[in-house]
């Protein structure tokens, strides 16, 4: 003999639909988050010194244990095609050579050079000797398939300092340098 079904034993149709919509919404949200570019989250768009820039900024440690602020930026002015790398450390006794280029070695064995713009940028008195600015737009095409990059920072007093740039940071540099996944147009009208 069949027993009657109580109304409490089966969820209502609207309750079932609500659960399915919540599950579908969460699934779609996870899919969107999963497919978003990894590097996009750390690329910043900001106004600095009365100009708009895209930048990626990290703190990395060299092979001697010194921390470095590593910033790649691209000014968004229509007449500027440059992509610049700023390196700064608070470590005592490091004197970067402002006259020599940055040497970069890829995992595939390529040796690349980036011009040192520190003297040009500061015209006259140089900043603290632990600051360097380099033009890296010519390096970017070589970095697309690299898992890491080793920078050799030439100094005035000791052997070069090695700083390894990991793949997620390289991806950000490519995003900044190529404006991939970013809006690249002049934004002066927003002021």
Q: Does the structure show a pLDDT above 80 at 31?
A: no
Mean pLDDT of the chain: 77
pLDDT digits (tens, 9 = 90+) for 47-67: 555 667 788 899 999 999 999
Distances (CA, A) of 58 to 43, 132, 188: 10, 15, 27
**Is 160 part of any domain?**
yes
**Is 69 part of any domain?**
yes
**Is 14 part of any domain?**
no
* 149, 164 contact by CB (below 8 A): yes
**Is 52 part of any domain?**
yes
**Is 29 part of any domain?**
no
What span, in angstroms and rounded, lies between the C-alpha atoms of 64 and 160? 11
The predicted structure's pLDDT at residue 113 = 95
Predicted structure pTM score: 0.69
Distances (CA, A) of 78 to 56, 121, 172, 188: 20, 19, 21, 10
**Is 35 part of any domain?**
no
**Is 120 part of any domain?**
yes
Which of 149, 7, 141, 133 lies closest to 73 in space, CA to CA?
133
pLDDT digits (tens, 9 = 90+) for 71-110: 998 887 656 678 999 999 988 888 888 889 999 999 988 9
**For the residues 4-24, what does the mean pLDDT come to?**
70
Band of the pLDDT at 175, cuts 50, 70, 90? Answer: confident
Range(s) of the domain holding residue 122 = 41-190
Burial of 182 from C-beta contacts in 10 A (0-12 / 13-18 / 19+): middle
Q: Does the structure show a pLDDT above 50 at 39?
A: no
pLDDT digits (tens, 9 = 90+) for 115-134: 998 877 766 666 677 888 99
Distances (CA, A) of 118 to 20, 61, 131: 59, 21, 8
How many structural domains does the chain have? Answer: 1
8-state DSSP, 67: E
The residue among 70 and 79 whose pLDDT is bigger is: 70
The predicted structure's pLDDT at residue 70 = 94
The residue among 166 and 19 whose pLDDT is bigger is: 166
Strand, helix or coil for residue 77: coil
Band of the pLDDT at 186, cuts 50, 70, 90? Answer: very low
**Is 45 part of any domain?**
yes
3-state SS of 15-65? HHHHHHHHHHHHHHHHHHHHHCCCHHHHEEEEEECCEEEEEEEEEEECCCC
């Amino acid at each position: 003999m069949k027993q009657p079904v109580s109304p409490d034993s089966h969820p209502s149709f609207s309750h079932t639909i609500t659960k399915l919509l919540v599950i579908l919404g969460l699934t779609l949200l996870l899919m969107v988050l999963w497919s978003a570019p990894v590097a996009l989250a750390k690329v910043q768009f900001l106004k600095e010194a009365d100009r708009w820039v895209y930048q990626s900024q990290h703190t990395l440690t060299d092979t001697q244990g010194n921390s470095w602020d590593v910033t790649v930026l691209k000014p968004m002015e229509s007449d500027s095609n440059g992509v610049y790398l700023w390196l700064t450390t608070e470590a005592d006794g490091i004197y970067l050579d402002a006259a020599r280029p940055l040497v970069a070695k890829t995992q595939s064995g390529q040796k690349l050079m980036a011009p040192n713009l520190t003297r040009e940028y500061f015209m006259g008195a140089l900043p603290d000797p632990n600051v360097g600015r380099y033009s890296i737009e010519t390096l970017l095409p070589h970095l697309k398939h690299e898992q890491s990059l080793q920078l050799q920072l030439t100094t005035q007093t000791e052997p070069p300092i090695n700083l390894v740039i990991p793949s997620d940071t390289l991806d950000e540099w490519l995003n900044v340098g190529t404006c991939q996944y970013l809006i690249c147009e002049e934004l002066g009208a927003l002021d």
